[in-house]
Chains A and B, each alone.
Chain A
């Protein structure tokens, strides 16, 4: 495609941009007039009219795409085609994603693809089972085979990333916030400093850490040089080593997200009324008791918020991955896997199906965290209400 020129690529969009604004303003006005004609009170009509831009946007740009995506999950759709094609077996995409089986081999037998077999479902192409992992028990090797090993690898990587990066990040951020809450001089400057990496664009952070972790002559391997010399070992490969991809991403995320959580937690700490600590002191509480029974409960709503945001963010990591080329085999996160399935491998139907499964999974985990909050998050207001009712 040729260069349309700057002006030619801006002004049509700009006109439609203005047009959209006018249409939405008209929509607000007409909704108001319409509701008034129907005898709705002025206040209610105004309020409802004002939220129509949001309502229309969510129906057209959220609800409709979600339903469309559900439908696409039962079709085959290459990005080069104009329309989706129906599948002989409508559940083919789901079977392709979820099928796995365990095949027995002799301990010394080579794992052959032929013996693993193929997916028994009518679809556009033949899908073979491939080895995901294997365990040897006695004389038998049990091979766990799946039809889409890359999906399972991506899920496994993403989950481990979430489980490692969220608690580590929260603990670190809490530690720094507690330090900054000790009447430190120039707390504003410290806070700015610690917040700095969180302001950096994720793309810049990713590029920077890719360079820091460069296997030959990256700064980190230089700093670790004496240790390599001492132990007579090869420099680590970090992002290029399949075993170290995960820790590399975790370290990078800690540097990047840390600061934002620190600022949030620090604000939470400042909100704890000092008289609670005084009361605890008078009762003879030590520092640990104060931390455990005053700081943590009072901070728990803030911790909860940080946790929820962490879960949602970690399970959807995307931008960083685009700037750090890793091996598909061991270094792809689910979101990147899905993007590539849809837009580079020509499987939009399959990506929609897996996208649905993954979305349900994310929402389930988020809700689970929400449910768990009743057990450990302490809301002062709620407690007062209870006491008032009793």
Chain B
């Protein structure tokens, strides 16, 4: 494996030629390997989309058919119609609005509270700050199995089971330590003169936070927004535990409900794949629009940690 093709002083043409061939060969191998990897990545992906557009009798055609004929776009609404027939009132639009309601509320609260807490940790010195910050980072290690049952019982005790409260309200308490950490690292890079100048100009701390600090950490703020959207959109365990009226189900739980209802009869793979594609589509769209923020959020723990 050639790590570097450093220029060496080669006295003979023959050696230079050999070296060139060797380099060319190495490049060819690199691209070949990358292409094989790309195929492994893409084939399942294309298979998902292809299946989602098939009519039922073509699902099990042998050999597999890649391009559906006819192209059954109707799977994308028939799947939800069929789900609606077993869970009355659970229409496509209802599912989407449920999902967006949870995702947007939780995302906004998460972003905002993470920014406030990170600001507190980054810009002010107070007793016990470093210990608390260490505790905050340690909470990342607490496994979910430890809090699942008691959290369920607490929400049941206050009578808020089967509402969206357990999925959205706690987000105000900066429940993602990684987000706080990411924002704190960004706040630390802002020179102190910035907020001092604003305060001398007569701004109060709230104004400093909104008009000076937040705009300066915008990339990190958007990065955690993207991550929080993705996290809440994909959150399965929360809705599974706290919701039991089907009409309240978000997308992910509706899909699982549909799948379980099918397990006895023939699995409707075309419907399942249409649902999976729809579940993935907004996230993929977000990814292509805001790739920079995804990668920013991904790398912070590793590179800055």
Residues of A within 8 A of B (CB): 1, 3-4, 6, 9-10, 12-14, 16-17, 20-21, 24, 28, 43-51, 53-58, 61-62, 64-66, 68-69, 72, 176, 178-180, 182, 184, 190, 192-197, 199-204, 207-209, 211-212, 214, 216-217, 219, 222, 255, 259-260, 263-264, 267-268, 271, 277-278, 281, 287, 290-291, 295, 301-302, 305-306, 309, 312, 315-316, 318-319, 322-323, 325, 334-335, 338-339, 342-343, 348, 351-352, 355-356, 358-359, 362-363, 366
User: Given A201-B234, A211-B51, A43–B245 Cβ distance below 8 Å?
Assistant: no
Contact of B180 among A48, A54, A72, A281 (CB under 8 A): A54
Contact of A65 among B59, B147, B303 (CB under 8 A): B147
Contact of A68 among B127, B132, B153, B165 (CB under 8 A): B153
Does any Cβ of A come within 8 Å of B34's Cβ? Answer: yes
Does any Cβ of A come within 8 Å of B214's Cβ? Answer: no
- With the chains together, A12 CA to B169 CA distance in Å? 12
Residues of A within 8 A of B272 (CB): 207, 211
CB proximity of B79 to chain A, nearest CB, Å: 12
Contact between B62 and A9, CB atoms less than 8 A apart? no
Chain B positions 238-263 with a Cβ under 8 Å from a chain A Cβ:
240-241, 244-245, 247-248, 252, 255-256, 259-260, 263
Residues of B within 8 A of A20 (CB): 169, 172
| Chain A residue at minimal CB-CB distance from B167 | A13
Does any Cβ of A come within 8 Å of B217's Cβ? Answer: no
13 new A-B contacts at CB < 8 Å, known A193-B41, A260-B298, A290-B4: A6-B98, A17-B105, A57-B172, A61-B173, A62-B139, A65-B147, A182-B3, A196-B284, A204-B280, A208-B273, A322-B256, A339-B237, A359-B143
Residues of B within 8 A of A318 (CB): 144, 236-237
Contact between B2 and A199, CB atoms less than 8 A apart? no
Of A13, A196, A202, A209, chain B has the most CB atoms within 10 Å of the CB of A13
User: Given A61-B170, A359-B143, A46–B154 Cβ distance below 8 Å?
Assistant: no
Does any Cβ of A come within 8 Å of B302's Cβ? Answer: yes
Please encode chain B, from 122 to 136, with 1 for each CB lying within 8 Å of some chain A CB and 0 for all others. Answer: 011111010010011
Contact between B162 and A325, CB atoms less than 8 A apart? no
Contact between B252 and A203, CB atoms less than 8 A apart? yes
User: Given A62-B139, A197-B41, A203–B4 Cβ distance below 8 Å?
Assistant: no
Residues of B within 8 A of A179 (CB): 30, 33-34, 37
User: Given A20-B169, A319-B234, A363–B41 Cβ distance below 8 Å?
Assistant: no
Does any Cβ of A come within 8 Å of B15's Cβ? Answer: no
| Chain B residue at minimal CB-CB distance from A191 | B295
- With the chains together, A315 CA to B44 CA distance in Å? 25
Contact between A363 and B143, CB atoms less than 8 A apart? yes
Please encode chain B, from 104 to 143, with 1 for each CB lying within 8 Å of some chain A CB and 0 for all others. Answer: 0100010001001101110111110100100110011111
- With the chains together, A352 CA to B153 CA distance in Å? 12
- With the chains together, A318 CA to B283 CA distance in Å? 20
Contact between B234 and A325, CB atoms less than 8 A apart? no
Contact between A68 and B150, CB atoms less than 8 A apart? yes
Residues of B within 8 A of A355 (CB): 143, 145-146, 148-149
Does any Cβ of A come within 8 Å of B188's Cβ? Answer: no
Of A4, A199, A295, chain B has the most CB atoms within 10 Å of the CB of A199
Chain B positions 1-28 with a Cβ under 8 Å from a chain A Cβ:
1-4, 6, 27
Chain B positions 258-294 with a Cβ under 8 Å from a chain A Cβ:
259-260, 263, 267, 269, 272-273, 275-277, 279-280, 283-284, 287, 291, 294
User: Given A55-B132, A211-B273, A47–B245 Cβ distance below 8 Å?
Assistant: no
Residues of B within 8 A of A (CB): 1-4, 6, 27, 30-31, 33-34, 37-38, 40-45, 47-48, 51, 59-60, 62-64, 88-89, 94, 97-98, 101, 105, 109, 113, 116-117, 119-121, 123-127, 129, 132, 135-136, 139-154, 162-165, 168-170, 172-175, 180, 205, 230, 233-234, 236-237, 240-241, 244-245, 247-248, 252, 255-256, 259-260, 263, 267, 269, 272-273, 275-277, 279-280, 283-284, 287, 291, 294-295, 298-299, 301-303, 305
CB proximity of B120 to chain A, nearest CB, Å: 3
Contact between A58 and B139, CB atoms less than 8 A apart? yes
User: Given A46-B205, A335-B145, A306–B302 Cβ distance below 8 Å?
Assistant: yes
Contact between B47 and A49, CB atoms less than 8 A apart? no
Contact of A44 among B41, B124, B151, B165 (CB under 8 A): B124
Contact between B148 and A61, CB atoms less than 8 A apart? no
- With the chains together, A57 CA to B252 CA distance in Å? 26
Contact of B145 among A43, A201, A358 (CB under 8 A): A358
- With the chains together, A338 CA to B149 CA distance in Å? 10
Contact between B34 and A199, CB atoms less than 8 A apart? no
- With the chains together, A126 CA to B267 CA distance in Å? 39
Contact between A348 and B149, CB atoms less than 8 A apart? yes
- With the chains together, A363 CA to B59 CA distance in Å? 45
Residues of A within 8 A of B140 (CB): 312
Residues of A within 8 A of B273 (CB): 207-208, 211
User: Given A53-B113, A204-B279, A48–B151 Cβ distance below 8 Å?
Assistant: no
- With the chains together, A28 CA to B42 CA distance in Å? 50
Contact between A302 and B121, CB atoms less than 8 A apart? no
